[in-house]
Structure 1
């Protein structure tokens, strides 16, 4: 029908930060500086390790950078 307008759907509320991220987010907000965490993770159902860097910004933004860790090439006999 013409002339009728629908209200756009309400945006979903933001999901709360998992407990493991909450401490870093609070620290970043309290100090006013970005907090970085680094490590290695293997996801469920995979045998491939990934290096990760999590950056927690004081304004609540969160970034995760992943880099696949491939095994080094095999050494060749001389």
Structure 2
């Protein structure tokens, strides 16, 4: 609970705020690419995030081929 003279804490900036500022400052899109494996999963996904200078953010995610089954001992 906030007191009478305290202001509530500000929410943290979005994790991609730096990329959005860079895209807006340079006037060119900023592209982030990578591979991610989500929690409790073994399937990898490729992702591409495009930050546009006008503030839009486009994210593409594509499932990669599943890994081969483990070899028997």
Fold shared, TM-score > 0.5 on shorter chain: yes
In the alignment, structure 1 segments of 5+ residues that lack a partner are: 1-15, 74-78
CA positional deviation for 1:45: 2.0
In our comparison, the structure showing a higher alpha carbon Rg is 1
Runs of 4 or more off by more than 4 Å in structure 1? Answer: none
Q: Number of aligned pairs?
A: 58
Distance in 1 separating the partners of 2:53 and 2:21: 8
Task: Tell me the TM-score normalized by structure 1.
Answer: 0.64
In the alignment, structure 2 segments of 5+ residues that lack a partner are: 1-11, 69-73
Q: In the alignment, what sits opposite 2:56?
A: 61
Task: Tell me the TM-score normalized by structure 2.
Answer: 0.68
Alignment counterpart, residue 51 of structure 1, candidates 46, 49, 70: 46
Residues 13-67 of structure 1: per-residue CA shift (max 9 Å, x gap): xxx7523x11110100000111101000111222111000000001110011011
Q: 1:72 to 1:44 in 2, by over 3 A?
A: closer
